[in-house]
Structure 1
Amino acid sequence: MASELPDYYFRVRENGAFVFRVDTENRQRRIDMDQIAVVNIRKGEIKPHGDRILSQEDLAAIGDWMRARSETLAARDIDDIHRAVDYLNLTTHWAQGKASEAQLDEVTDALLLAMHDLRSVLVRKKAERLMRERD
């Protein structure tokens, strides 16, 4: 185990995290984790757990974590999109050379609808950007 544990532990969940204060300064020298808050990143909320009152140190640590987590999630989002582009290229190669007629029958309609929907959104968003740049 590392020589020194952090003061806070964030148990990640879909919208944020449960925040725990880590305590190793006890007689049994075991790790105690005391939940102090619940964080919702999408809403920007920090809710104290139970009747707790969060210190300025608690709030600063939670705020730092929220900023870092938001950056991580944003980086993952764009990475996922780059992977989707790669996957579309791999799918094209598969459809052109490897797919059987039965496999193509199974996925063609779903792929065409998804690609049509994506194309519509991308064209509309690009047109909006071009109009803003022009104005």
Structure 2
Amino acid sequence: MAGDLPDYYFRVRENGALVFRVDTENRQRRIEMDQIAVVNIRNGEVKPHGDRTLSDADIAVIRDWMAERQIVLAERDIDDILRTVDHLNLTTQWAQSRATEEQLETVTDSLLLAMHDLRSVLVRRKADRLVSDENPG
């Protein structure tokens, strides 16, 4: 089992991760995790933990993890938005076929404002893209 463990463990947190070096080569044959760094995905910062000095290998592994993590997070963002589209369709069907007058009264203003705000942003961003496509560089 111990031979299958990675050399590093990343404890994900909201803005990045805590980075641990995994050690199974000790006398007790226990898994030990030694925190070596804190990473921030948003600004790309890697801070050694305490008075540690990170090796080139540590930094390479951390940078690779950060690149992979950014890809995963971007994919999740798109998936969340596509799920939102599905949910909007389900909400439309609900409003048309099952919603009571009281339920509609509860949600209509909030939905209309949120959809208006979203539509305004999407239309503006679409127009910006069209203008930039017509006037490259």
Query: What TM bracket, shorter-length normalisation?
Result: over 0.9
**Structure 1 CA distance for aligned equivalents of residues 2 and 71 of structure 2:** 26
Amino acid at match of 1:63: R
Question: Runs of 4 or more off by more than 6 Å in structure 1?
Answer: none
Aligned to 2:104, the other structure's residue is in SS state helix
CA displacement at 1:133 relative to structure 2: 1.1
CA displacement at 1:3 relative to structure 2: 4.2
Contact kept? 2:19, 2:37, Cα under 8 Å? yes
Structure 2 unaligned blocks of 5 or more: none
Matched residue, 1:128:
128
Aligned to 2:4, the other structure's residue is in SS state coil
Q: What's the C-alpha RMSD, in Å, of the aligned pairs? A: 0.9
Matched residue, 2:7:
7
Structural mapping, 1:12-51, within 5 Å: 12-51=12-51
**Structure 2 CA distance for aligned equivalents of residues 19 and 45 of structure 1:** 13
Structural mapping, 1:56-75, within 5 Å: 56-75=56-75
Structure 1 unaligned blocks of 5 or more: none
The worse-fitting range, judged by mean Cα deviation, of 2-11 and 117-126 is 2-11
Between the aligned residues of both structures, percent identity stands at 73
**Structure 1 CA distance for aligned equivalents of residues 109 and 125 of structure 2:** 24
CA separation of 1:2 and 1:98: change in aligned 2, threshold 3 A: farther
CA displacement at 1:2 relative to structure 2: 6.7
Instruction: State the TM-score, normalized to the length of structure 1.
Output: 0.98
The alignment of Structure 1 onto Structure 2 pairs a total of residues equal to 135
